[in-house]
């Protein structure tokens, strides 16, 4: 029985598609959609209005805030609604920088942050702030002592993500937060990928601010959260009305705020069981891929890793062709992050963990979710080797390797924890 790629492609028309890109966005839960529809139909009022419809809307908004605060173990007045995770990251970083520039103009972050953080930092750099970008190791792990060493008298903010969106590595933010607190420096963490997947308690984690996003959590796109510790003073970025305690103008998105509260409540109610379930699927996927496909490595940390994330590099493959072929077979995956897949530059995260550009280009991110089944993994483990084999057969690098003209960087047996040193052995 030797099924070819073409046969699988013809068959795939009759199979339901399999969504493996939950780190990019998630489908809203049915119960969450019901919450949105009900509020849009029945409670369209403006929460700032002084009559019944307004009071009802304000009540729904504050109920959502209270629910979220209790999920995170913080005070309702420490929860702010924003338009997305990106806005929350911008607000925390620029708001802190502008509020504290009298004390100093130095900020610290890492090389593997989301672009919402990195580009906020770069914007500040253009305004004369100085940024230290801390390196991570080949697993994407940051040594918290590096933060201590980087803090100076004029340091005003440290921003380190809780979990990386591309390679899934979970960073030691509790330790980093303790170091910042001791030094009297504000600490922000992008918790977008962590929330709902692993326990997130901003206070216990010693953070002053954390960013979150609805659509990574089975709520709609267009709603985000910021946790800001009472007493952490930062500037506003959105000037306008007196909404969100005068700190973020704009008529509140009542329906989506309630949706986010509902989605968070549901994710947390089920988190222990669901994360363990996804971890079992993830580990079967990782082992299966490394076993079935030669010259393959896992990117990210083998254990300190989000339950739903697998990220692989396949040697001798160029470009984003893996994604196109998988798409034809019915799978939605990512090569890095959704933001980088529009450009041909290799992902900054994969470069930061030391992958040569050529290896980074042959990378694939598979992120599981609440809808992922055992059968999805089986089917993928059947199809992915067909795709890789087909692409390698078209690859001049692979043919050079087969003729002994190229040394592989990833050994044939593959690796769960490979550090690649040196440059790629391109044929001259």
Distance of alpha carbon 229 from alpha carbon 35, whole angstroms: 28
Tell me, residue by residue from 182 to 201, as one string, x for binding to ligand PLP by CB under 6 A and - for no binding. Answer: --------x-xx--------
Least distance from C-beta 115 to ligand PLP, angstroms? 8
> CB neighbours (10 Å) of residue 327?
13
Residues 6+ apart with CB under 8 A from 272: none
Q: Which residues contact 234 (CB under 8 A, 6 or more apart)?
A: 91, 92, 95, 96, 98, 99, 186, 209, 228
User: Are the C-beta atoms of 390 and 7 separated by less than 8 Å?
Assistant: no
Alpha-carbon distance of 404 to 169, in angstroms, equals 35
Q: Name the minimum Å distance from CB 3 to ligand PLP.
A: 36
Helix (H) or strand (E) holding 367: strand 363-367
In this chain, which residue has its C-beta nearest to ligand PLP? 85
Nearest distance from residue 399's CB to ligand PLP, in Å?
A: 38
The CA R_g of the chain, rounded to the nearest whole Å, is 23
Hey, CA dihedral for 372, 378, 380, 381, is it positive or negative? positive
Closest approach, Cβ 411 to ligand PLP, in A, equals 31
For ligand PLP, give the closer residue by CB, 169 or 213: 213
Of the listed pieces 85-93, 272-280, 321-329, 340-348, which binds ligand PLP according to CB under 6 A? Answer: 85-93
The reply to whether 224 sits near ligand PLP by the rule CB under 6 A is: yes
Instruction: State the minimum distance, in angstroms, from the CB of residue 213 to ligand PLP.
Output: 3
Contacting range for ligand PLP; rule: CB under 6 A; set: 80-88, 240-248, 375-383, 384-392? 80-88
Tally the C-alpha atoms within 13 A of residue 66's C-alpha that lie toward its C-beta: 6
- Closest to 281 in 3D by CA, of 384, 372, 380: 372
Distance of alpha carbon 108 from alpha carbon 187, whole angstroms: 10
Q: Which is closer to ligand PLP, CB of 192 or CB of 386? A: 192
339 included as an active-site residue: yes
Contact code string over 42-71 relative to ligand PLP, x by CB under 6 A: ------------------------------
28 forms part of the interface with ligand PLP (CB under 6 A):
no
Q: Which residues, numbered 278-317, are part of the site for ligand PLP (CB under 6 A)?
A: none
Interactions with ligand PLP, residue window 97-136 (CB under 6 A): 114, 116
Q: For residue 232, what are the CA distances in angstroms to 171, 242, 416? A: 23, 19, 41
The residue from 67, 86, 132, 144 that contacts ligand PLP (CB under 6 A) is: 86
Q: How far is the CB of 2 from ligand PLP (least distance, A)?
A: 40
Coil vs helix vs strand at 126 = helix
Among the listed residues 169, 173, 170, the one whose alpha carbon sits nearest the alpha carbon of residue 189: 173
- Footprint of ligand PLP on 393-412 (CB under 6 A): none
Query: Any contact of residue 252 with ligand PLP (CB under 6 A)?
Result: no
By CB under 6 A, tell whether 213 contacts ligand PLP.
yes
Strands of 7-64, DSSP E: 18-19
Instruction: Say which of 84, 180, 333, 339 is annotated catalytic.
Output: 339
- Minimum CB–partner distance for residue 169 and ligand PLP (Å): 12
CA angle 392, 398, 403 (to 5 degrees): 140
The residues that are catalytic are 339
Q: Which residues bind ligand PLP (CB under 6 A)?
A: 84-86, 89, 114, 116, 161, 165, 190, 192-193, 213, 215-216, 224
């Amino acid at each position: 029985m030797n099924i070819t790629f073409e046969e699988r492609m013809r068959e795939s028309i009759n199979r339901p598609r399999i969504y493996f890109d939950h780190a990019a966005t998630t489908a809203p839960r049915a119960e969450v959609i019901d919450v949105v529809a009900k509020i849009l139909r029945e409670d369209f009022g403006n929460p700032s209005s002084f009559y019944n419809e307004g009071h009802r809307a304000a009540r729904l908004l504050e109920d959502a805030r209270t629910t979220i605060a209790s999920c995170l173990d913080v005070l309702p007045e420490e929860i702010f609604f924003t338009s997305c995770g990106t806005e929350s990251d911008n607000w925390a970083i620029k708001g802190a920088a502008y509020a504290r520039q009298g004390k100093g103009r130095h900020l610290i972050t890492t090389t593997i942050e989301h672009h919402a953080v990195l580009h906020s930092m770069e914007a500040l750099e253009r305004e004369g702030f100085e940024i230290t970008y801390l390196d991570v190791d080949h697993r994407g792990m940051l040594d918290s002592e590096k933060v201590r060493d980087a803090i100076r008298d004029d340091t005003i903010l440290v921003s380190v993500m809780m979990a990386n969106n591309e390679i899934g590595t979970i960073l030691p933010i509790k330790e980093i937060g303790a170091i910042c607190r001791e030094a009297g420096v504000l600490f922000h963490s992008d918790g977008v990928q962590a929330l709902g997947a692993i326990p997130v308690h901003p206070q216990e984690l010693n953070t002053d601010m954390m960013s979150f996003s609805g659509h990574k959590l089975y709520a709609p796109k267009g709603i985000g959260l910021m946790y800001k510790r009472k007493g952490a003073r930062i500037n506003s970025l959105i000037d306008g009305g007196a909404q969100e305690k005068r700190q973020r103008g704009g008529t509140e998105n009542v329906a989506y705020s309630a949706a986010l509260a509902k989605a968070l409540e549901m994710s947390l109610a089920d988190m222990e069981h669901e994360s363990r379930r996804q971890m079992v699927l993830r580990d079967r996927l990782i082992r299966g891929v490394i076993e079935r496909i030669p010259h393959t490595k896992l990117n990210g940390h083998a254990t300190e890793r989000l339950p739903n994330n697998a990220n692989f590099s396949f040697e001798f493959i160029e470009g984003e062709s893996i994604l196109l072929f998988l798409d034809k077979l019915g799978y939605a995956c990512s090569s890095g992050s959704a933001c980088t897949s529009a450009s041909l530059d290799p992902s900054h995260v994969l470069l930061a963990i030391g992958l040569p550009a050529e290896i980074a280009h042959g990378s694939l991110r598979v992120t599981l979710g609440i809808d992922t089944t055992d059968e999805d993994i089986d089917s993928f483990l059947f199809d992915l080797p067909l795709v890789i084999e087909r692409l390698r057969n078209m690859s001049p690098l692979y043919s050079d390797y087969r003729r002994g003209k190229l040394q592989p960087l990833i050994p044939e047996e593959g690796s769960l924890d490979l550090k690649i040193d040196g440059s790629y052995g391109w044929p001259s």
